[in-house]
Amino acid sequence: MKTGALVAATLAVPGSFFAMRAAAATTQPQFQFGIASYTFRAFQRAQLIGFLKQLQVSDVNLKDIKDHLPMDPQVESAALSDYAAAGIKLHAVGTIYFDKDEDEDIRKKFEYAKHAGVKVIVSGDPAPATLPRIEKFVKEYDIRIAIHNHGPEDKLWASPLDVLKAIKGLDPRIGCCIDVGHTVRAGTDVVKAIQEVGPRLFNMHVKDLADMSAKESQVAVGRGKMPVCEIFKALEAINYKGFVDLEYEINEKDPVPGVIESLAYMRGVLTGLG
């Protein structure tokens, strides 16, 4: 990968950029940027760690894919040791699928998150009938569930608004992970969705599309039609304090250049907001 010069040029601003405070009186957004490890699904954990250090990103949403964060407790411990040694911090696990309405299966997944030391599980496609059982574990473990919408192909959770309807009346620690690409493909205004979800927004997955209805049209953030600036303004307006995770799903075998471009663009947008 011929990315060295590009890294030097575009990542000169350190990772702490995302949490910095302006000297002026204006309030900076409190959210931070991270990366969903699915971006590097073609690579093993050691390579993932190398990429994160190269990108100057220390915060990740890890998934049980390759050997990124295996569900097996002993192997998970080894992975956590590797991340700690590299200065990589976990803020969420997932996407995790709750496909069984059984205490044993659900507890295993909450133990996985507890062992990882995170307070957010990004959840994919839990059956609505399973939510009361999941709620029991949310209360026991004090770990939030962020249900990830997956666009028009998802018959349950196409849009964050579908999630919002289903979780009404449940524990406030059950909420949403808004995937902006899937949201717009479902015909939902992503800015309005952020506003409506409000305090139940626990994680964000960001990507960009050249065609707002076509999943296969993904491009580096800033090259498509996603209203990135408006999304960040909406997050600031709801006082969002979670992570905005880049989920770059194209160029699977060589994602680094697109990740660099996407992070640089988002950093520029955030700078432009003050």
Indicate the pLDDT class of residue 231, thresholds 50, 70 and 90.
very high
Predicted local confidence at residue 20, as pLDDT? 39
Predicted local confidence at residue 23, as pLDDT? 38
Is the pLDDT at 27 greater than 70? The verdict is: no
Residue 92's DSSP bridge partners are 61
**Could you tell me the CATH number of the domain that includes residue 167?**
3.20.20.150
Question: In this predicted model, what pLDDT tens digit does every residue of 83-98 receive, in sequence order?
Answer: 999 999 999 999 999 9
Decide if 51 contacts 40 (C-beta within 8 A): yes
User: Is there a domain that residue 18 lies in?
Assistant: no
Is the pLDDT at 8 greater than 50? The verdict is: no
Higher pLDDT, 27 or 174: 174
What is the pLDDT of the chain when averaged over all its residues? 91
User: Is there a domain that residue 11 lies in?
Assistant: no
User: Is there a domain that residue 27 lies in?
Assistant: no
Question: In this predicted model, what pLDDT tens digit does every residue of 143-174 receive, in sequence order?
Answer: 999 999 999 999 999 999 999 999 999 999 99
User: Is there a domain that residue 43 lies in?
Assistant: yes
Joined tokens for residue 81: 């040791």
Q: Tell me the residue range of the domain where 84 lies.
A: 32-272
What's the mean pLDDT in 184-202?
A: 98
User: Is there a domain that residue 21 lies in?
Assistant: no
Is the pLDDT at 5 greater than 60? The verdict is: no
Predicted local confidence at residue 30, as pLDDT? 75
Question: In this predicted model, what pLDDT tens digit does every residue of 177-187 receive, in sequence order?
Answer: 999 999 999 99
Is the pLDDT at 202 greater than 60? The verdict is: yes
Question: In this predicted model, what pLDDT tens digit does every residue of 29-41 receive, in sequence order?
Answer: 678 999 999 999 9
Is the pLDDT at 140 greater than 80? The verdict is: yes
Q: Cβ of 243: how many Cβ atoms within 10 Å? A: 24
Quick one: what percent of the chain has pLDDT higher than 70? 89
* Closest listed residue to residue 185, CA positions, set 163, 145, 156, 218: 218
User: Is there a domain that residue 210 lies in?
Assistant: yes
User: Is there a domain that residue 73 lies in?
Assistant: yes
User: Is there a domain that residue 209 lies in?
Assistant: yes
Predicted local confidence at residue 273, as pLDDT? 85
Total structural domains within the chain: 1
Is the pLDDT at 65 greater than 80? The verdict is: yes
Residue 67's DSSP bridge partners are none
Find where tokens 């697109």 sit.
258
Distance of CA 118 to the CA centre of its chain: 13
Q: Which helix (H) or strand (E) segment is 76 a member of?
A: helix 73-86
Question: In this predicted model, what pLDDT tens digit does every residue of 11-23 receive, in sequence order?
Answer: 444 444 334 333 3
Predicted local confidence at residue 125, as pLDDT? 87
